[in-house]
Chain A
Amino acid sequence: MQSLGSIRRDFSPWNDPAAKPYIVFDQVTKKFGDFTAVNNLSLSIYEREFFALLGASGCGKSTLLRMLAGFEEPTSGRILLDGQDLRGIPPYRRPVNMMFQSYALFPHMTVEANIAFGLKQEGMESSKIADRVAEMLRLVKLEQFAKRKPHQLSGGQRQRVALARSVAKRPKVLLLDEPLGALDKKLREETQFELMDLQQKLGLTFVVVTHDQEEAMTMADRIAILDKGEVMQVATPAEIYEAPGSRFVANFVGNVNMFEGMVTARDASGVSINSESGIAIRTENAGDAQSGAKVAYAVRPEKIKVSSRPPMDTANNAAEGEIYDIAYLGDMTVYYVRLANGLVVKAASLNSARLTDDPLTWNDRAWISFKPDSGVVLTR
């Protein structure tokens, strides 16, 4: 069986028509004065899902999260949690907890008291609180820091306290606002896997807001790409990357070469596209593009082969150009090849061997080529 990238084989409720969504945004609009932050948006999130809201700043992703937490009320539309309409329910009565971007640790309380805060509000017995706090401290490996104040902790430790505090009440849903934004790169990578691990262990539904696509790709079961308060696409990371639904999504996630053109023929095996770059494109992944439609053919750089020798078939999916720039990144090399009409194509090749028998350098003539199933046809 062929498939797009890696998957959690036993978990895809969104493909099961019988599965009931856990969180539903139903035609939600949120306006701040004249500004529309969220525009008639509908989304379904399933129980135990790790769901990411990905978008540039100002796309409405944080507003969505804040509406779920109860800090903002939608101007119109409904938000349902486990079938219950959340309208009018204040944040302190919602079974969701949030981990804040700034962590929002109470500076006058110790780590212990921070974690116990939510449990005390619930009126839990103090012996049970102590047990739960100890359990949380173990979970985030901060046992020896229980008596410290937040300002006595490093950034990574504060992040863990914030996490422990937000899961201590065992909320139905955990909301995470840029959970790794304040950490440095190395710590971020470690923490990503810890978060995924924690989500599996506790069996919670996670909704995470991020502007970092790598973070979303690594952690999430599904990603919603947002732009100007609207959902552009909701799909698994592999689908988002390999089968983007629009030019915007293809451009937003990862690097892409976009060949604009017109469909000249459509038959059972695919479409032919006459592209502005001069390349005659023949592809199997036609989507819903009809003959005569203006489309873009999107190909990821790593799916383009660059070589000093012409490919077997030079008539389709190939072009000759000149190496314009080379970025050597260690694990891979990105070639920028300028075609005859001036379009610069990015081609990334993995440096799987230490030595290469086809060394290319600046201003060399080179051929780029790709396979019929390498890219996707985008009509939007």
Chain B
Amino acid sequence: MNASLSRFNIVSIVLGFAFLYLPIVLLIIFSFNESRLVTVWGGFSTKWYVAMFQNQGLMDAAWVTARVAFISATVATVLGTMAALALTRYTRFRGRILFSGMVFAPLVMPEVITGLSLLLLFVSMGLDRGFLTVTLAHITFTMCFVAVVVQSRLITFDRSLEEAAMDLGATPVKTFFQVTLPVILPAIISGWMLAFTLSLDDLVIASFTSGPGATTLPMKIYSQVRLGVTPEINAVCTLLIAVVTVGVIAAAVVNKRREVQRQRDEQAAQRG
């Protein structure tokens, strides 16, 4: 294979990245715009960041979102892990295929339908729309993502580890908490992070299931944009991007380090 980049490759890379990141770069640049008009550059300023922190509505929405995301991701991780365990371990129970289909259906279900059906359910149950309903809705739709992530780890899990633990005198419960759980923990954590980010940026389902006093950040941003994009919104989005980027980079660096360390250890072990 030719290692050097051909002109064609360079062009396609530049085009690809531009397509992906130009909008985001524009958004970041205009968040530092002095001018009130979003599309006209009026000089550098950080005043919109100050304004953002003084905007009580935005801050409230951010707090709601953080709480919804944290609670729903945590509950969804517990439920999703249990579903993944049931699906990989008890391969012959009645209705397994139906159950696995039902667990994964929300992955491909249009969000509008999920949102609408949840709304109908909450209304018929007489639940007032608010913090509780949006959290429940987010648990419902993020659980299947956790189940998929954890299940793919469990498929490669060596069952003889659990047998060894039981053979050495650990009861099934102790085996789960001392052996199974620590081994699959990385997958559970990534499942949690996936659920957290999905909940964080969900607009459609939240719009259906949330109510007064429980406006999430995406809903707030969307409603403000309808009144006209302000540089304040750009600032919020820039901060969100910064948080996500730092998180992704940190995770990648940690992973890479661990991988390198592991390879080094293994080479050392092979040498004796």
Contacts and interface: CB of A to CB of B under 8 A. Distances in A.
A108 B183 contact: yes
A152 B269 contact: yes
B160 interface: yes
B168 interface: yes
Contacts of B166: 70-71, 90-92
Interface of A: 69-71, 90-93, 96-98, 100-102, 104-108, 117-118, 121-122, 148-149, 151-154, 157, 165-166, 169
A102 B160 contact: yes
B193 to A, nearest CB: 20
Nearest to A102: B160
Given A100-B163, A121-B170, A154 B272 contact: yes
Interface centre among B167, B174, B268, by most A CB within 10 Å? B167
B168 A118 contact: yes
Given A107-B183, A152-B268, A121 B168 contact: yes
B169 A154 contact: no
B183 A92 contact: no
Nearest to B171: A92
Given A108-B183, A151-B262, A98 B167 contact: yes
B164 A104 contact: yes
B165 interface: yes
Interface string B155-188: 0001011011111111100100011001100000
A125 to B, nearest CB: 16
Given A100-B163, A154-B272, A165 B266 contact: no
Contacts of A69: 163, 167
Nearest to B181: A108
B270 A154 contact: yes
Contacts of A152: 265-266, 268-269
Contacts of B272: 154
Contacts of B165: 106, 117
B117 to A, nearest CB: 40
Q: What is the size category of the interface that chain B forms with chain A?
A: 20 to 34
Contacts of B270: 154
B137 to A, nearest CB: 35
A106 B161 contact: yes
A170 to B, nearest CB: 12
A165 B165 CA distance: 11
Given A97-B167, A106-B165, A121-B169, 18 more contacts: A70-B166, A92-B166, A93-B169, A98-B164, A98-B167, A100-B164, A104-B161, A104-B163, A104-B164, A105-B164, A106-B179, A107-B161, A117-B165, A117-B168, A121-B170, A151-B269, A154-B272, A166-B167
A97 B265 contact: no
B181 to A, nearest CB: 10
A130 to B, nearest CB: 17
A70 B169 CA distance: 12
Contacts of A153: 269
B183 to A, nearest CB: 6
A143 to B, nearest CB: 15
Contacts of A165: 164, 168
Interface centre among B160, B171, B183, B269, by most A CB within 10 Å? B269
A92 B160 contact: no
Interface in B181-222: 182-183
18 contacts: A70-B167, A71-B166, A90-B166, A91-B166, A92-B167, A97-B167, A98-B163, A98-B164, A100-B164, A106-B165, A117-B178, A118-B169, A151-B269, A152-B269, A154-B272, A157-B269, A165-B164, A166-B168
B269 to A, nearest CB: 5
A152 B167 CA distance: 24
A153 B182 CA distance: 20
A107 B184 CA distance: 11
Contact of B266 (A106, A117, A151): A151
Contacts of A70: 166-167
A267 to B, nearest CB: 57
Contacts of B266: 151-152
A351 to B, nearest CB: 35
B168 A97 contact: yes
A308 B168 CA distance: 62
Contacts of A118: 168-169
B270 to A, nearest CB: 6
A121 B183 contact: no
Contacts of B269: 148, 151-154, 157
Given A92-B169, A154-B270, A108 B160 contact: no
A106 B265 CA distance: 17
A161 to B, nearest CB: 12
A101 B169 CA distance: 19
Interface in B124-138: none
Contacts of A71: 163, 166
Interface centre among B160, B164, B165, B174, by most A CB within 10 Å? B164
B158 A108 contact: no
Contact of B167 (A91, A151, A157): A91
B34 to A, nearest CB: 54
Nearest to B159: A104
Contacts of A100: 160, 163-164
Contacts of A90: 166
